[in-house]
Copies of this chain bind each other. A is one copy, B any other.
Amino acid sequence: MADFKKTPRTKVRRLPERGHYDRGSIYRILDEGLICHIGFVVDGQPYVIPTGYVRVGDKIYIHGSPVSRMMNVLENGIELCLTVTLLDGLVLARSAYHHSMNYRSVMVFGHAVVVDPPEEREAALRSLVEHVIPGRWKDVRPPNEIEMKATRVLAISLREASAKIRVGPPQDDAADYGLPVWAGEIPLRLVAGAPRSDPQLSGGISVPRYAEAYTRKTKKT
């Protein structure tokens, strides 16, 4: 897989060592994340909306109601910026100035197109569910005709993207390493608790394995 080209929009300028342009790094972040933040412009005003997504090959799919504001404007193909951020830890330095966070983020520039072919629409909806809860699709009632009509699926081709990654301990000024101040990292991760069955669940239905043992593992790219 070819790397993404650095462009004036995606090039990480201030801390270039944090920039990554290879598809492996970028796809791993996209595949681990659950929500993205999509930025778009209406009458000069920026909007930033959180929403679910999935990457399939070199496309990102999102979905929503055809009457939602975001779907309505994005389906016109306007420019968007899609950002996924995974927070990995807090970085505690000896100086206030060098406090930081460890994170992995991806920024995608492009535009959305409406997905029309029924097979691609259905595959995208299946992927959207499977991205969040692998193994779930086979158990659920699939979308019926009315639901398919009430769902807009949009695709964003991955043509211009970059990742920004910070890992590791704090980087203090040389003179500060002797200070009697604890420094290091507090790792953070998104953890699943015990599944809560729907109060209206019929008797005799056990919690499936994918819900009992839910974890956010990176898929292979």
Please list the residues of chain A having a beta carbon within 8 angstroms of any beta carbon in chain B. Answer: 9, 13-14, 34-35, 37-41, 44-50, 52, 65, 67-69, 79-83, 85, 87, 90, 92-97, 99, 101, 103, 105, 107, 109, 125-126, 129, 132-133, 136-137, 139-144, 147, 150-151, 169-170, 176-202, 205-208, 211, 214
Contact = CB atoms under 8 A, between A and B. Distances in A.
Contacts of A180: 202, 205
B37 A96 contact: no
- Which 8 residue pairs are nearest across A and B when measured between Cβ atoms? A39-B48, A39-B46, A187-B193, A39-B39, A37-B37, A48-B83, A50-B85, A183-B198
B46 A81 contact: yes
Contacts of A82: 48
Contacts of A90: 34, 132-133, 214
Given A45-B81, A211-B184, A69 B196 contact: no
Please state the number of chain copies in the assembly. Answer: 2
B181 A197 contact: no
Contacts of A9: 45, 47
Interface of A is mostly: mixed
Contacts of A65: 14
Contacts of A133: 90, 92, 99, 186
Contacts of A201: 182-184
A169 to B, nearest CB: 4
B200 A182 contact: no
Nearest to A93: B140
